[in-house]
Amino acid sequence: MTKFRDPPDDPRAPVAGLQLSDVLDLRAYERVREDYRRQIIEHKRHRRIALGPILTLLFESFDTVRFQVHEMARAERIVTDEGIEGELDVYNRLLPVRGELSATLFIELTTDEDLREWLPKLVGIERAIGFEVQREGGPRLVMAEPEATHAEALTRESITASVHYIRFRFDREERRAFGAARPALVSVHPEYEARVELTAETQAELLAELEGMSEPLPFG
């Protein structure tokens, strides 16, 4: 079972993520789903960060992605290896490699009026989120980058999407700084400035992800 993804020597090379062997068939998944879903809810608790009034980030992991694959297969009744591999091709793009954090960014708006107001304002928000870490000489921002395939799909310049897939790439010193002092998540978008300091629990959870030390949850 794949615990984490190591970065390849060639950054253009594919990186192994979830494999077909990591996915249960539908009948086996139904037997463990209730317990696994409870574990996922708890697992996400320290990985979900509210940034200001309308932004939420969920930091992805092996299990958040594995859960999405299983739930999609269950909803769509996908039973073939080819069908599951198609889902893996999509969802593996959300997995971080060691030295990275990967997140799904939600713009949480519930009315048409708010959507019409905010989605044009927040163009470029996927590049305006960063982690503030304390380095010698002062704080440094590690800024988000949109997931490549998602970025290619953002073809409208006058309005943004309500969901974005982003990642943060940390060098060795930035990873050390992430663990040494409490980091903060910030938005520096001119239409939406916000800052929230991570809790100790979230800092520890994400640091383990950065260092490739997170462990998969058990089934059942």
pLDDT in tens, 49-60: 999 999 999 999
pTM score, whole prediction: 0.88
Residue-level pLDDT at 180? 94
Q: Compute the average pLDDT of residues 150-173.
A: 85
Q: What is the mean pLDDT of residues 175-192?
A: 97
Please state, in angstroms and rounded to a whole number, the distance separating the CA atoms of residues 215 and 202: 15
Helix (H) or strand (E) holding 138: strand 138-146
- Give the pLDDT score at 135: 87
Cα gap 133→126, rounded to integer Å: 19
pLDDT, average across residues 170-179: 95
> C-alpha dihedral over 61, 64, 68, 70, to 10 degrees?
100
Which residues fall within 8 angstroms of residue 155, CB to CB, at 6 or more apart?
A: none
pLDDT at position 174, please?
Answer: 96
The CA-based diameter of the chain, rounded to the nearest angstrom, is 56
What number is the average pLDDT over the span 62-72?
Answer: 96
pLDDT(15) > 80: no
Q: Which residues share a beta bridge with 97? A: 5
Are 142 and 174 in contact, with CB atoms under 8 Å apart? yes
Residues 37-46: tens digit of each pLDDT: 999 999 999 9
- Residue 2: what pLDDT? 36
Q: Decide if 56 contacts 211 (C-beta within 8 A).
A: no
Mean pLDDT over all residues of the chain? 90
β-strands 184-189, 129-135 pairing: antiparallel
Domain chopping of the chain, boundaries: 46-60+97-210
Q: Per mean pLDDT, which range of 9-18, 117-126, 158-167, 171-180 is the poorest?
A: 9-18
What is the C-alpha radius of gyration for the chain, rounded to an integer number of angstroms? 18
Q: What are the structure tokens assigned to 85, written together?
A: 């591999």
Would you state the pLDDT for residue 95?
Answer: 92
d(CA 81, CA 84): 5
- Does residue 114 surpass a pLDDT of 60? yes
- Mean pLDDT for 192-209 is 97
Confidence band (pLDDT; 50, 70, 90) for 153?
Answer: low
pLDDT value, residue 137: 81
